[in-house]
Chains A and B, each alone.
Chain A
């Protein structure tokens, strides 16, 4: 090897080492700052507060008061269980024996429900696994569920191993959720920190890396970019305040955790569990989350929620694609059924220019179905929609902002998306689709060509409704509503850097071929993109890219320049430039 190459290699390694050291120093500062803030908080019935106070040996009397509160009036099922177990595990060194006994007794007297979703079960069984480890060899009557410590450990271990294997084999369920991912991650931090079984400990670490890699590949400018299997309405227009965006702020340090008054603004309580742990984010994951220097396409295979009836498969496959650029992210579910209530089937997301900006665009067909809900829950079909609406209040509403529809078909190729709607069937309740255009878009031009052009300094958008439409003004968005039952749209997106000007972008788009072929019968659309690719698709699922078949049904678990994972492999290869990390769940190894 020539001397200058060796020198260059040393310089590179040195630079990486310095950056990693800087990262670790700044991360530790963030940990210290949140722990310092939390330990000084006054009394509140919040187990995390007591956890920090006890762990830091600060204001222990208040911590003990909190323990009294959370153990004497337990409430919250698994949402109570995991903070209480975290409190015990991190705080036990400064917890008087009588208070340890109170925690222990609450696990006899209070019966937390196991729940009906995977995130519930991960919280429940992780807590139970660690509790059975804390109090081994105790008989069934001393536990809330009547099982002995050993029975509880085996039960919990069985489920946790099943979930980990399933996720790394056929994909994550409840995937890409700006809220729920936190409820998968936090228990894994607990497990990684406190499992005495080295294999379980390592498997938990692998799952943390796996879930964070899955998140970071879709991360841009403080936002978890869509599509999402489950997103709550407040997170749609205020994407940077979601639980996972706050988790990113904690790990990446890309936004301040506190405002000038010292109040937490981008901090999530769940991260306290991590702040006290030995876990450190591998440098390669940091880079994947932050390096947006080159556009990339990411294909992912996910998994539908557990189907109880009306499906041939228990966990049908879902395939999604994401096109990420330095300032925009266009992602969509290309194939498969997911979680109908809170799904965002596609979303365009872009970098903000000013704080508080709404930086997303999406469409949906408002749809609800007792049968769909019956596939997820055991409730009676006659009352199941009303039951769902009790908690997810907009599920059956025509103005809803979330939810999937079987009458929507999407085809995405890089920066272009075609959406088709056939709302002509006799069972269709709402015969329109809605598009949501941020009021923060600087332009919203309805062009004579039929295109709608919109832009900000970070994105140029061309949206072509295929039928007539109207605008409805709402607080944060202009809602485009189109009533035709054979319907659709074309969307093409560019970064401003890719065009000479917004006017040029418009001119080029106008020149693009748009063909509707026997549309009222087949909903067939042919479109030539700005890059010259010709896309063609129809409602039956036929898809062509430049005349070649495009099959969206068989994606690997991950396929992008950064992440590679074959379905069934239980392995993920993470790459960034010359760095590589391999997660292998089956062997419980992490290699660099």
Chain B
């Protein structure tokens, strides 16, 4: 019990310390507009956008047609240092998005997500359509960490979850189940849902043994024992292909998920039962979800083809906040 309290305090400290500098900002990426364009016809403007929680207009930064699938902002630098997971590789800005560098070479492409290790300041992870990559020097050099991943579906990596108390423990969402590493990604072992495409894994911020996974065509799976046993949790849920999920950081057991043409579902009991939220985006495809750290009623939803949406009442109602014809591929609050 005492250990748990210490752990919780440590986690809260780690997560919230960087936020004292400024109010967290919402970062999201648009990859194409409603009408997709062919490579070579770069007539659309899209890329990375950011703004405050109540922003009416949003700043766009970086290249005009960059395909960005993930964003990580180093809050220790007050938002100066940004990493992007992009089609061209991993991009890094050290001046809040004014200038960028592709810090990977040709071997790394179609990067799906990028993560900064909160406990190891120089460590950066990138998942890609071909393998997981790790940098121990803040992105200057990269190496493949894929021992134990079977080609090609397990090397197709949709994202990671880092255990907050020990960030050497990683859960990897692949096109063929969940893989786990206990040594910072050097070795991987199967951790359930083999045969299923997993889009995202989240760890409950208040209990590291509670994990949830969003899957293609099979809804949400929840583990209450740190990933040993996964149970499908779909009662009352609309939609089978779930792309994104998020734990409420305050209310235990509350979980939101969104996916293909199904809007948002909400559970208050760790996914045992779900309620489909009947709101303005209830039949839209939700690609990403985030809850504002200091106000758990404020929810942001990134929609494919319909831009960024905002709810101030825990998802009962949404209004479009930005780029109404944009395909929002990723979002994060930093």
Taking beta carbons and an 8 Å cutoff, which residues of A are in contact with B?
Answer: 75-80, 111, 113-117, 120-121, 125, 140-141, 144-147, 154-156, 158-159, 162, 307-314, 374-375, 378, 380-383, 387, 390-391
Contacts and interface: CB of A to CB of B under 8 A. Distances in A.
B223 interface: no
Given A146-B91, A311-B153, 13 more contacts: A78-B39, A113-B42, A114-B87, A116-B87, A158-B105, A308-B156, A309-B156, A313-B152, A314-B151, A381-B241, A382-B260, A390-B36, A391-B37
Contacts of A378: 69, 110, 112, 129
B39 A313 contact: no
Interface string B24-51: 0000000000011111111100000000
A115 B217 CA distance: 29
A75 B65 CA distance: 10
A114 B69 CA distance: 15
B102 interface: yes
B36 A391 contact: yes
A79 B38 CA distance: 12
Nearest to A120: B39
17 contacts: A76-B40, A77-B42, A80-B40, A111-B64, A111-B66, A116-B87, A158-B107, A308-B130, A308-B152, A308-B156, A309-B152, A374-B175, A380-B241, A380-B260, A381-B216, A382-B261, A383-B285
Contacts of B287: 380
B311 interface: no
A382 to B, nearest CB: 4
A307 B152 contact: yes
B87 A310 contact: no
A187 to B, nearest CB: 15
Contacts of A387: 36
Interface in B264-320: 285, 287, 304
B40 A79 contact: yes
A314 B149 CA distance: 14
Contacts of A380: 241, 243, 260, 287, 304
A117 B39 CA distance: 10
B57 interface: no
Interface in B90-117: 91, 99-103, 105-107, 109-110, 112
Contacts of A116: 39, 87, 110
Contacts of A391: 36-38
Contacts of A117: 39
B281 to A, nearest CB: 16
B152 A310 contact: yes
Contacts of B106: 121, 125, 155-156, 158-159, 162
B39 A77 contact: yes
A354 B175 CA distance: 53
B72 to A, nearest CB: 17
A311 B152 CA distance: 6
A308 B158 CA distance: 12
